[in-house]
Amino acid sequence: MEVHHHSHHPKKWKEYISEFMMLFLAVFAGFLAESYLDYRTERHKEHDYLVSLVSDLKIDSADISIKELNMKLVTDCGSKVTDIVYQDKWMEKYADSMYIWCENIFDTEVVLQYADGTIDQLKNAGGFRLIKSKLITEKIKDYIKGQSRMKGQEEGCGHTFDRFLDMRGDLMYSKVFTYSGDILKGRSTITLLSEKLNSIKEKNGSKFLNGNQTEFIKLSNISFNYSGQLFVYRAMAIAQKEKATELIKLIEEEIK
């Protein structure tokens, strides 16, 4: 029985190079494919973030448009309260107006409610690194700074507002109004129940809990301070709305 021995010829160096190149190209192609997939995933995430942010900014802008009108109403009422208490016999002539102005200050919604969902994700999930445009990133961060500054002003307004409520509660009767419309959207109408207030005056001799002029001057001082703080808050809100409008335009140009 014959045994055939197969001879193995050593590979030539060109074959080694060829196999290495094929292996290298396969690995490199895989790397490119994975890198491209990561790139596309990040671009999709960036697009989703920006689309969501535009939606949030439009909500913010709409809220500011309503609230800045409300702030104007409140500051006007505060000025009227300040002016009226120095007039002669104002408690007889303008008592009803005082009630209406103070109720407008009390019931008108002025605090901004930011749609912060997307911005919170950008901050907490490291989303800023996905945004390619440095200009958009800078504008978003400036918008966030604006929010922070406004919250500081908001706190000051809130403290003064609480003082106004305490003083008003010591001087004026409650439950002498009816309301119609949407207060939160600035489309409300406050109506004074004049007959009820007149009935109170007939029983107690005054439309107010306290007829001390000095106390009403204190109320007007607080009202004046609140109006001043709100004037600044309104200016900041208008500036913030301008930032939102600019950001929306930049982002929509980026993602179109």
Instruction: Classify residue 6: in a domain, yes or no.
Output: no
Range of the domain at 188: 14-255
Per-residue confidence (pLDDT) for residue 248, from 0 to 100: 96
The C-alpha R_g of the chain, in whole angstroms, comes to 34
Any idea what DSSP says for residue 7? P
When pLDDT is averaged across residues 219-234 and rounded to a whole number, the result is 96
Per-residue confidence (pLDDT) for residue 46, from 0 to 100: 85
Per-residue confidence (pLDDT) for residue 185, from 0 to 100: 61
Contacts of 215 (CB under 8 A, 6+ apart): 167, 170, 171
Instruction: Classify residue 5: in a domain, yes or no.
Output: no
Instruction: Classify residue 43: in a domain, yes or no.
Output: yes
Contacts of 107 (CB under 8 A, 6+ apart): 179, 183, 188, 190
20-63: per-residue pLDDT in tens?
667 766 666 666 555 645 555 567 888 888 999 999 999 999 99
Instruction: Classify residue 20: in a domain, yes or no.
Output: yes
Number of domains in the chain: 1
Instruction: Classify residue 7: in a domain, yes or no.
Output: no
Beta partners for 180? 189
Instruction: Classify residue 36: in a domain, yes or no.
Output: yes
163-184: per-residue pLDDT in tens?
999 999 999 998 899 988 776 5
Per-residue confidence (pLDDT) for residue 142, from 0 to 100: 95
Instruction: Classify residue 8: in a domain, yes or no.
Output: no
When pLDDT is averaged across residues 90-115 and rounded to a whole number, the result is 93
Q: How confident is the model at residue 157 (pLDDT cuts 50, 70, 90)?
A: very high
Per-residue confidence (pLDDT) for residue 216, from 0 to 100: 95
Q: How confident is the model at residue 201 (pLDDT cuts 50, 70, 90)?
A: very high
Instruction: Classify residue 187: in a domain, yes or no.
Output: yes
User: Which residue from 220, 234, 256, 203 is spatially nearest to 108, judged by alpha carbons?
Assistant: 234
Give Dmax over CA atoms of the chain in angstroms. 138
Which is more confident, 23 or 93? 93
